[in-house]
Amino acid sequence: MSEHWTVPAWAAAGVLVATALLVLLGLGLAIAAHRTVRRRRAELDVLRAGVEAAEAARAELEARLARVERAQRPATAGGSSTAPHVITHLGEPSAATRDEPVEAVRIEGPLLADLVLRESAVQVGSLAAGLRRALAPEGRARVRAEMRRDLRSSRKQRRADLRAARRDVAARRRTVSP
């Protein structure tokens, strides 16, 4: 009889332990899933804040672009002008002879600095890139090889000229002396 009771007792204990392990495993998975959801929500909030900041920056840039376009667009009495932009007005009456006053366009400080410095910065960058390329070891080696080639060809030409001159002198001596 003792054997009869021990097998079901071990089976019951095994089932209890397995159930406890499954419950603990389920709790662990639930906690891990909850942490993942919280982490994803935090990431989503950060992304939403980034999107809002990007949209605000885009709106600000569009407003600045509109201001720049308004400043660059010539003002006409009828509203927007469809005529092409002309630098000179040769043959047209000058501003001094026209009846309407000419309005000066006010350019803000940062925009003025941008307009003034942009071309200079491009030119300086271009000059620096050109100097960097010209002074690179490959460029110097190429110049050195070209100079050697020119030097050799000029020596060869001088020797050929000297031989031709000697031949001319010898020919003249032969014709002069009887």
Which of 48, 74, 100 is where one domain is finished?
74
Contact 95, 102 (CB under 8 A): yes
Examine the domain organization and report whether 139 and 70 are in the same domain: no
Q: According to the model, what pLDDT value does residue 1 have?
A: 47
In a domain, 65, yes or no: yes
How many CA atoms does the CB half-sphere of 93 hold within 13 Å? 8
Single-letter amino acid, residue 87: I
In a domain, 86, yes or no: no
Q: According to the model, what pLDDT value does residue 77 have?
A: 46
In a domain, 161, yes or no: yes
Report the Cα–Cα distance between both ends of the chain, in Å, rounded.
156
Q: According to the model, what pLDDT value does residue 92 have?
A: 67
- Segments of the chain scoring below 50 in pLDDT: 1, 77-79
Q: According to the model, what pLDDT value does residue 74 have?
A: 58
Q: According to the model, what pLDDT value does residue 103 have?
A: 72
Q: How wide is the angle at C-alpha 158 spanned by C-alphas 154 and 164, nearest 5°?
A: 145
Question: Which pair of tokens denotes residue 31?
Answer: 């906690």
pTM passes above 0.95? no
In a domain, 8, yes or no: yes
Total domains in the chain come to 2
In a domain, 9, yes or no: yes
What does the mean pLDDT of the chain come to?
82
Q: According to the model, what pLDDT value does residue 177 have?
A: 73
Examine the domain organization and report whether 135 and 67 are in the same domain: no
Q: According to the model, what pLDDT value does residue 71 have?
A: 76
Query: Per DSSP, what are the bridge partners of residue 140?
Result: none
Residue 4 structural domain: 1-74
